[in-house]
Amino acid sequence: MGRIVEMAFTGLWVLKRQGVLAEVGGRLYWPDRPSLEQAAAQAGIPLSDVAVHTGRLDATSR
């Protein structure tokens, strides 16, 4: 099962499997969640329903 991770600082999306970054179709990152989900589906990788969001979600919080 793959875990979707949003890298908030960069705006990129990645996939982790068994705790490590996963390469899918020759890629390590995607510009948005739908394109990551599509790549995972094409590769036959089931995804967790829960996404991890890293970094601050809004620039005004401290």
pLDDT 10s digits, 33-51:
999 999 999 999 999 999 9
Tokens coding 57? 């979600």
Tokens coding 46? 């089931």
Could you tell me if residue 19 is inside a domain?
A: yes
Going across the sheet that includes 20-21, the strands are 20-21, 12-17, 2-7, 52-54
As for how many domains the chain has, the answer is: 1
Could you tell me if residue 62 is inside a domain?
A: no
Percent of the chain with pLDDT over 90: 84
Q: Yes or no: say if 1 and 47 are a contact pair by the CB < 8 Å rule.
A: yes
Query: What pLDDT shows up at residue 62?
Result: 47
Query: What pLDDT shows up at residue 6?
Result: 95
Could you tell me if residue 60 is inside a domain?
A: no
Could you tell me if residue 50 is inside a domain?
A: yes
The structure's pTM equals 0.82
Domain containing residue 40: 2-54
